[in-house]
Chains A and B, each alone.
Chain A
Amino acid sequence: MSQFEYILQQVINAVSLGSLYALVAVGLSIVFGVLKLTNFAHGDVMMVGAFTTVLLIAIGVPFIPAMIAGILASALAGFLIERIAYRPIRNAPDVTRLLTSLAVTYILENLGILLFTSSPRNFPLPDMLNSSWQLAGGAITFTNINVLTVALTFVSLIGLGWFITRTTVGLGMRAAAEDMSAAQLVGLDVNKLIIVAFLVASAFAGLAGVLWAAQAGVVQPQMGFTPLLKAFVAAIIGGFGSISGALLGGYMLGALEIFIVAFLPDPVVPYRDAIVFTLLIAFLLFRPGGLMQPNREIKL
């Protein structure tokens, strides 16, 4: 296998992993934008989407409709979380809001364990999506689920880009993220915008959850924890609250992780996550506004 093909393979892997991180990070950033709240339950909203999809496939629903139902289930979960848990404490101190977000995480995970036990379940991916492409005589390999992941990520991000730059509700969401009272003064209904933000962010979590589980081949109630942490890092790198920043951070983090494993000496590879989280600390210390908002201070 030539060097070039090896690198190309790693780029494909990086784009595939980066897409998942970007999907999750964008959702985190949307919610943080309007509420200034780190929604730790975002990872569990992924889990809701993945489990819904798996259960529907298990009763014979084809993959695509099952995935759409999973995305809708995540959106509904996000809507309910906002309505039941976050709205009553919207103006409470930051610590209260942070703890509430953690509490929602634990409730959802334990609910998942109660219903499905904590042991992993197989994700019944259709054979069509599991089949792989071999290029350059097998030097470059990727499966249909990789292709689907990247394609759906691009389509949904383009859709999101259109939504937040072309529609009044989308522009209003960005306006509210920047200055809540100014948004109210021009007549924007902030409640409505927050609901829309949760629906959109949670739908993104749902899509990410299904794709994550499909790639991993399993679902389990705690499956949202790792992607949430990674997306959190990605969002910080990009600039927390900035949607384009989350996108950039997601792909950068995906590339970083893949390249650490692919190009650094073997003894370094086990420290991949340590390197990633060191980077997080470095950003928080020296550039807390991330790449997109160099002058902004953040508080979590």
Chain B
Amino acid sequence: MVTADAPLLQIDDLEVNFGAVRALKGVSLDVREGEVIALVGANGAGKSTTLRSISGLARPKAGTIRFDGVVINRRSPPQIVRLGVAHCPEGRRLFGSLTVAENLRLGACTRSDADGVARDTETMFVLFPILRERWRQLAGTLSGGEQQQLALARALMAAPRLLLLDEPSLGVAPLLVRHIFEALAELKRQGMTMLLVEQNIALALNLADRAYVLRTGKVALSGDAAELRDDDRVAQAYLGAAE
């Protein structure tokens, strides 16, 4: 159970290997209920790997991942979804030959409360009105921005307590990026806990309460998002890794 100060998600000394490559070399971070945490850093810093470890797609070599006090290192992705973690993956990964309606239905496949699912579907229409218009269309025929909205909605249909977001602005037209981040801000107001990986640091730090800066598989820097916005070392973490 989450007490007043126990974080909802707590990661300690997480190490993950990809073959011979050490993708994560001892990452520790925590996310408290209701917080939005940004995870930023250059390409290859280990941001996506961190998310994939939490949702069970990548197997940690060492360290622990606790969600709501339960160690989830060895749980399967479906079990982790059932515990309350939804992962909206990089590249959206929609089921392109299925309709918008069917994608959302599968997003809720771990739930048995039909009324709650129907209610949440209505909520998605408020958050992303375009999905109502595209309801019977195949997901593969949507524009990049529409697909991203559907991917977010599909993850939210699991009624998660923690939402993992991987690059929600990638491949999305600027106008729609703003729209998507407005929706994320609305989710934050409603109290959704989020762990956000985002290449657009300004957008990410504006939305987040706190942030972690990853650099070659380690946390290089962390702290209050508003303070990190003005911190030169954040930019340096990017440049440093790019050298």
Contacts and interface: CB of A to CB of B under 8 A. Distances in A.
Interface of A: 168, 171-172, 174-175, 178-179, 181-190
B97 interface: yes
Given A168-B106, A171-B102, A185 B97 contact: no
Nearest to B101: A171
Contact of B154 (A174, A179, A186, A190): A186
A175 B78 contact: no
Interface residues of chain A: helix, strand, loop or mixed (majority): helix
B93 A182 contact: yes
Interface string B192-226: 00000000000000000000000000000000000
A172 B93 CA distance: 14
A175 B106 contact: yes
Contacts of A183: 95, 106
Interface stretch (B13-21, B81-89, B174-182, B232-240): B81-89
B78 A184 contact: yes
B106 A188 contact: yes
B71 interface: no
Contacts of B77: 181, 184-185, 187
B118 interface: no
A181 B154 CA distance: 15
Instruction: Point out which of A175, A178, A179, A182 has the most chain B C-beta atoms below 10 A from its C-beta.
Output: A182
Nearest to A176: B95
Interface string B52-81: 000111000000000000000000111001
Contacts of A172: 106, 109
Contacts of B82: 187
B98 interface: yes
Contacts of B86: 185
B76 A184 contact: yes
12 contacts: A172-B106, A174-B98, A175-B106, A178-B98, A179-B93, A181-B77, A184-B56, A185-B77, A185-B93, A186-B158, A187-B77, A188-B78
Interface of B: 55-57, 76-78, 81-82, 86-87, 89, 93-98, 102, 105-107, 109-110, 154-155, 158
A181 B57 CA distance: 7
B89 A188 contact: no
B57 A184 contact: yes
Contacts of A178: 95-98
A294 to B, nearest CB: 14
A184 B86 CA distance: 11
Given A171-B106, A187-B158, A182 B78 contact: no
A196 to B, nearest CB: 14
A181 to B, nearest CB: 6
Contact of A186 (B76, B81, B96): B81
B153 to A, nearest CB: 12
B93 A187 contact: no
Contact of B81 (A181, A185, A190): A185
Nearest to A293: B97
A89 to B, nearest CB: 19
Contact of B107 (A174, A179, A181, A186): A186
Nearest to A165: B102
A185 B102 contact: no
B39 to A, nearest CB: 18
A175 B95 contact: yes
A171 B93 CA distance: 15
A179 B94 CA distance: 8
A178 B106 CA distance: 13
Contacts of A186: 81, 106-107, 109-110, 154-155, 158
A182 B109 contact: no
Contact of B98 (A175, A181, A189): A175
A169 to B, nearest CB: 9
A293 B57 CA distance: 28
Contacts of B56: 184
A5 B106 CA distance: 50
Nearest to B57: A181
A186 B77 CA distance: 8
A271 to B, nearest CB: 37
A187 B108 CA distance: 8
B94 A182 contact: yes
B57 A185 contact: yes
A125 to B, nearest CB: 40
Contacts of A184: 56-57, 76-78
A187 B79 CA distance: 7
